[in-house]
Amino acid sequence: MRIDGRRPEQPRQTRVQPGILETAEGSALIEAGNTKVICSATVENRVPTFLRGTGRGWVTAEYGMLPRSTSTRTPRLGAQGRPSGRTFEIQRLIGRSLRTAVDMEKLGERTITVDCDVMQADGGTRTASITGGWVAMACAITQLLKFNVIAASPLRHYVAAISVGVVDGVPMLDLCYEEDSRADVDMNVVMTSAGEFVELQASAEGDTFDREQFDAQLRLAQKGIEGLIAAQRDLVTL
Amino acid sequence: MRIDGRRPEQPRQTRVQPGILETAEGSALIEAGNTKVICSATVENRVPTFLRGTGRGWVTAEYGMLPRSTSTRTPRLGAQGRPSGRTFEIQRLIGRSLRTAVDMEKLGERTITVDCDVMQADGGTRTASITGGWVAMACAITQLLKFNVIAASPLRHYVAAISVGVVDGVPMLDLCYEEDSRADVDMNVVMTSAGEFVELQASAEGDTFDREQFDAQLRLAQKGIEGLIAAQRDLVTL
Amino acid sequence: MRIDGRRPEQPRQTRVQPGILETAEGSALIEAGNTKVICSATVENRVPTFLRGTGRGWVTAEYGMLPRSTSTRTPRLGAQGRPSGRTFEIQRLIGRSLRTAVDMEKLGERTITVDCDVMQADGGTRTASITGGWVAMACAITQLLKFNVIAASPLRHYVAAISVGVVDGVPMLDLCYEEDSRADVDMNVVMTSAGEFVELQASAEGDTFDREQFDAQLRLAQKGIEGLIAAQRDLVTL
Amino acid sequence: MRIDGRRPEQPRQTRVQPGILETAEGSALIEAGNTKVICSATVENRVPTFLRGTGRGWVTAEYGMLPRSTSTRTPRLGAQGRPSGRTFEIQRLIGRSLRTAVDMEKLGERTITVDCDVMQADGGTRTASITGGWVAMACAITQLLKFNVIAASPLRHYVAAISVGVVDGVPMLDLCYEEDSRADVDMNVVMTSAGEFVELQASAEGDTFDREQFDAQLRLAQKGIEGLIAAQRDLVTL
Amino acid sequence: MRIDGRRPEQPRQTRVQPGILETAEGSALIEAGNTKVICSATVENRVPTFLRGTGRGWVTAEYGMLPRSTSTRTPRLGAQGRPSGRTFEIQRLIGRSLRTAVDMEKLGERTITVDCDVMQADGGTRTASITGGWVAMACAITQLLKFNVIAASPLRHYVAAISVGVVDGVPMLDLCYEEDSRADVDMNVVMTSAGEFVELQASAEGDTFDREQFDAQLRLAQKGIEGLIAAQRDLVTL
Amino acid sequence: MRIDGRRPEQPRQTRVQPGILETAEGSALIEAGNTKVICSATVENRVPTFLRGTGRGWVTAEYGMLPRSTSTRTPRLGAQGRPSGRTFEIQRLIGRSLRTAVDMEKLGERTITVDCDVMQADGGTRTASITGGWVAMACAITQLLKFNVIAASPLRHYVAAISVGVVDGVPMLDLCYEEDSRADVDMNVVMTSAGEFVELQASAEGDTFDREQFDAQLRLAQKGIEGLIAAQRDLVTL
């Protein structure tokens, strides 16, 4: 029995509410247990320098935490002058994960920026950002299709992510903050609706891990992601 | 008739939802029309250098906008390295306004930091931050009393704020963004439940203004603030 | 009787000396009691992005304090990496105030930058910067007319500013530093030679204030500004 | 046949030269093909705040590239004001990897900082930094033992790292820059001399990947790391 | 005949006005031709870390230029985020030069910070800062003696500085801006009242220079500095 | 006898190894005693704004120290956000010194950036950077000639630099770190193969110095530079 009453292989209750911001092309609020992330997607008619004139688009992501998303206050970025290393690591992960979902030729010379702002943090904010960010991006693409900005959908597949960890020797799915801070191995898995991997990051926090442990964790993650993609299918049809 | 169907003296529908963050000592979501601000209050056992050893507390505020709170994306603070001048101006205004509501001796050597993060911006974000920030602060103080951290409430009065402007020669209460960008005079008023002023800022954006216009605007603001304080009374008893 | 021997309604001795810098298009040294501010005006053939191609000009201001303008040394901006919130607040106020004095179509696509550098600070540096900055700007405009860069003067009216405060319950005009640090209410008023208001900012520092107090302070300010505009008239003819 | 004549499963020629800096407690120059990284290890009698008084030590890493380590010049960090996101991601990976090699209780309240400065970059700089950084750290620990600063070696095992990628559908070991920029999947693996995993990061750059491909890559990586650890054994005895 | 009518060996008219700031322990305005620098000296009861507990003091300097000290506006430091390389070079020169004038044991554990702010720049601002900065520092020391903070004067000698350059093949003393920008060799000399050197910096701007040219320039500089020290003697008695 | 066994007029063993980086147009490793500096030269087809359209080129330099080039670790630039004042001073000196060696018309509208990165520091890093940087620059120019990018060599002469100091009253050539930190006078001299001066900087660190001492130091420097230029001649023919 886990700290919040779940079984080891049981993910948290996850809800995704699309369209929460009238100001953005696409948006979604994702809640995974007590973790809440506001995701928005912005479409702009420009691409990074290395893509100009290629006819291809780009997807990028930014990640932030509201000062009181954590149980003690975290100073906001602007006060320190720059995002932390952890922030950079997370936003690069989200960006890479969402890029694989998009056919850049069909998107054309446009950039989609997905902003993931954590309202409340209880573990798994980076994986929730990927799952929710995909929905915000899909909403924005729906708008582009609706207004005939693009002719065909550049969405190639659904993309969702979940964490797995080994706590007190037991592999557990979708860690909350308290579990995460006690885990020996921390693993984040990003997969597509075709059952393929996008990112697979496993880190030994305390003890190192062997192949068998790794395989057990991976099985949990695959199962969890299938559930998240089912939820995405309920909201968006490709 | 105004752009959103209101009469000149009619404020926007305003709702304040306290306790929206489990992670913070106090919190509130304020919605004034389409403007939505997440307010949180943090209590810390430290004061700025100039207050150490005086037995007196401090209240300060920070203000931010989520990148897609606006209809085109605003780069987040950390990317530019520092908050803008406008941000500084706003957070100083919020801080000064909320400080007058607190008896610093009763608070003791503690700092309350009120974070106001704009989720969606449609004009009047600084006044909504003051009105909502007061509620978040009051919730945090309720916690301090409940856990006997302090003996008596340091709250001296309710504090709320509203904007007024002159648009096409007509004084209007509680401007939305479109009205604000066309206003000749822009005024922000902060008042207490005792009917006294805390801050009064009137700026000529285009044309200058005379005493008579000023007095007409002030009457609208006083009326609007009475309504907001009535809403605060429904949520918090002093 | 006030700390420096003045009566409550008596402003400080104010002198404005135009043309103190040979290097600038316009300049002035303003002395209000012990407060001394070096003002300069720079004219450049460029405008901010949002004005390009409109045929309209812009006026902006920057404000700084020399390290020993204060009785203990204030670190210079570059050492901390950025101006303080107070600096931003002040330079935005100066900029807005001076913009109302200029017909931007007559100025054409030019930017006037008014720099206000405080040599010695004894209260009222922001209002002295507005009054002296207007003179520096007017000198620069005189140069533009003299060299036929523009055909008609874009100056619409004189603009001057003064502070008022309530000290020990008594409304007083043009506070010196010692009075300012003890004031319950701090008010800055900016007016034109037409008797209209440009900016009106009143802040409760300790106690809040009622309408009657506010009106009394406003009367003092109006009187004080009339005197300052008379001094400007002696130096510059519109 | 690969671009530099190697077979798919063949790593680059790797040489590690310890003790290249007289100024540092430990140092090593690692050359993997044309990639050259200067590694140094610094021991300081301080730990981060969260470890003070616990009797436990810490290991951290920093990573940089000399401006002409790349075939076009990369501006140095100080000129832009801050390290890039990629730099943060890499130095966090190196730090986590080296921490697992150290028994923090045996190290005591000391911090080992491993600096990895790339002199010449031709792919695999992060994995070379881990392999070479381990040697620099081991040299520094040898010094601590020699001067009786610590009683027993805190080194728990050897740690080395290598990259694998899928280029034109073929899994290849230890990618050079040209291969890396064309790879569909990019994988970095960090392992110990006990055959356990420390970090395992696989990213789809273009196409996603399935379980079978992942397993094939992992086998290549394990083989490559065994060779690197053999080289470490020749230099340092645990 | 030079551009401003001087003979090659003739320095500019130089005036030093001490005590121009009521707020500072010591101050002086130095005017050398059209170059005007406001110098102030601050005494604080602290020393840099490396001097704590040694009983010895420190002298340091900062240098800045007002935005319109130059004929086109120079952005102020805070706007760019940091002082330029030239600024660092100059303030280090001023600091080293003034330190040689002070017996640090007699000063005791105090820091004197000399701020040199250029109001108007027409060449030779760094040498004027040294000459004027010495006077500001001497005024501050006079205060320390007057209030018995220190028992004996730590001033060891007068220090002054001047520039020399080779313009169109002719060595000239005390260059104005126009001469400076055309000079082939630029030399700054700092000397004491004992006729000894403190700093001697000669830079080839275009053509290199030989020993004979160097000696001729040095003679001019020595002569010029004697005049400046005579002016310092009129203001301050050691 | 000096600390490292040298006679006062004896320079350190100096070796320059050109071509150490395959990635750069020109490069050299210079070792002067225990001081080791990696120099690289980058050629780019752009010039600073003030040279555009003039047909003339530019030479600039950057200088850095690896964190463990010193016997205690120096934080890297990016961590503090900006280079120190000392760094700016040094890179400006290197840039000015190397510019005199180049005929900018023959170079054409190109910029040569010389990066000097100190691997190990034992005094004299700025002078070693000039001597080694000249070799890296000469290698890059050889490439430009070889590939017919330019028709004739823009190199006008060899340039080398050395330090001299007065330690315990004795003038000594080419100070190591321990001598440098005890020196009363610190002097850096940059000269050409034509026996002319490029830069001459003498600073009193403790005691001031007279003309006779200065002349004695200068004689030592001239002798030392002749030896360094002889070494450059062995590597590069003009």
> Strands D197-204 and B185-192: what pairing?
unpaired
Q: How far apart are CA E32 and CA E19, in angstroms?
A: 18
Residues in E closer than 8 angstroms to F214, CB to CB, are 197, 200
Q: pLDDT digits over A157-208, tens only?
A: 999 999 999 998 899 999 999 999 999 999 999 999 999 999 999 999 878 9
Instruction: Please check whether residue B182 is in contact with residue B168, taking contact to mean a CB–CB distance below 8 angstroms.
Output: yes
In this prediction, residues E44-70 reach a mean pLDDT of: 96
Residue that is written with structure tokens 């529908």 in the block: B13
Which of B67, B81, B117 lies at the smallest CB-CB distance from A115? B67
Tell me the angle at which helices D125-146 and D211-235 cross, rounded to the nearest 10 degrees. 30
Which of A96, A210, A214 lies at the smallest CB-CB distance from D203? A96
Closest residue on chain B to C103 (Cα)? B206
CA angle (B32, B38, B41) in 5-degree steps = 125
Which of E23, E44, E66 lies at the smallest CB-CB distance from C69? E23
To test the contact with chain E by mutation, choose from C73, C80, C94, C116 the residue with the greatest count of E C-beta atoms within 10 A, namely C73
**Chains touching C, CB cut-off 8 Å, 3+ pairs:** B, E
Q: How far apart are CA E138 and CA E232, in angstroms?
A: 10
Q: How far apart are CA E85 and CA B237, in angstroms?
A: 59
- Band of residue C80 on the pLDDT scale cut at 50, 70, 90: low
**Chains touching B, CB cut-off 8 Å, 3+ pairs:** A, C
Instruction: Copy the structure tokens of residue F187.
Output: 């002097």
Report the Cα F41 to chain-centroid distance in Å: 13
To test the contact with chain B by mutation, choose from A21, A39, A60, A73 the residue with the greatest count of B C-beta atoms within 10 A, namely A73
Q: Is the pLDDT of residue E206 over 90?
A: no
- Band of residue E1 on the pLDDT scale cut at 50, 70, 90: confident
Look at residue B198 in the predicted model and tell me its pLDDT: 97
- What's the pTM value of the predicted model, to 2 decimals? 0.88
Look at residue D207 in the predicted model and tell me its pLDDT: 84
In this prediction, residues E49-63 reach a mean pLDDT of: 96
Note whether F76 contacts D70, CB cutoff 8 Å: no
Q: Is the pLDDT of residue E39 over 60?
A: yes
Single out the residue of A230, A188, A160, A178 nearest to residue A89, CA to CA: A188
Distance from CA of C68 to the nearest CA of E (A): 6
Note whether D79 contacts F70, CB cutoff 8 Å: no
Q: pLDDT digits over D26-56, tens only?
A: 999 999 999 999 999 999 999 999 999 999 9
Residues in B closer than 8 angstroms to C202, CB to CB, are 197, 199-201
Lowest model confidence (mean pLDDT) among B73-77, C193-197, D74-78: D74-78
Q: Is the pLDDT of residue A80 over 70?
A: no
Q: Is the pLDDT of residue F145 over 90?
A: yes
Q: Is the pLDDT of residue B83 over 80?
A: no
Between these two residues, B86 and E128, which has the higher pLDDT value? E128
Percent of chain F at pLDDT exceeding 90: 90
Q: pLDDT digits over D123-151, tens only?
A: 999 999 999 999 999 999 999 999 999 99
Which residues from F are below 8 Å from D when comparing CB atoms?
Answer: 21-24, 27, 34, 38, 40, 42, 44, 62, 64, 66-71, 73, 76-83, 87, 113, 115, 117, 119-121
- Band of residue C62 on the pLDDT scale cut at 50, 70, 90: very high
Look at residue B28 in the predicted model and tell me its pLDDT: 98
Q: pLDDT digits over C207-232, tens only?
A: 899 999 999 999 999 999 999 999 99
Q: Is the pLDDT of residue A78 over 60?
A: no
Look at residue A82 in the predicted model and tell me its pLDDT: 67
Closest residue on chain D to A159 (Cα)? D208
In this prediction, residues F111-120 reach a mean pLDDT of: 98
- Band of residue F81 on the pLDDT scale cut at 50, 70, 90: low
Q: Which residues contact B155 (CB under 8 A, 6 or more apart)?
A: B101, B102, B103, B138, B141, B238
Q: Is the pLDDT of residue B77 over 80?
A: no
Classify C167 as helix, strand or coil.
strand
- Band of residue F82 on the pLDDT scale cut at 50, 70, 90: low
Looking at chain E, the number of H-run helices and the number of E-run strands are: 6, 9
Q: pLDDT digits over B211-238, tens only?
A: 999 999 999 999 999 999 999 999 999 8
- Band of residue C88 on the pLDDT scale cut at 50, 70, 90: confident
Residue that is written with structure tokens 């017996």 in the block: E103
Look at residue A142 in the predicted model and tell me its pLDDT: 97
Q: How far apart are CA F83 and CA E88, in angstroms?
A: 10
Look at residue A85 in the predicted model and tell me its pLDDT: 80
Residues in F closer than 8 angstroms to E209, CB to CB, are 196-197
Note whether B82 contacts A77, CB cutoff 8 Å: no
Query: How many other β-carbons are positioned within 10 Å of the β-carbon of residue C212?
Result: 8
Which of B44, B87, B120 lies at the smallest CB-CB distance from A21? B120
Residues in D closer than 8 angstroms to F24, CB to CB, are 68
Lowest model confidence (mean pLDDT) among B145-159, B171-185, B187-201, C67-81: C67-81
**Chains touching F, CB cut-off 8 Å, 3+ pairs:** D, E
**Chains touching D, CB cut-off 8 Å, 3+ pairs:** A, F
To test the contact with chain E by mutation, choose from F97, F103, F203 the residue with the greatest count of E C-beta atoms within 10 A, namely F203
State the average pLDDT for chain D: 94
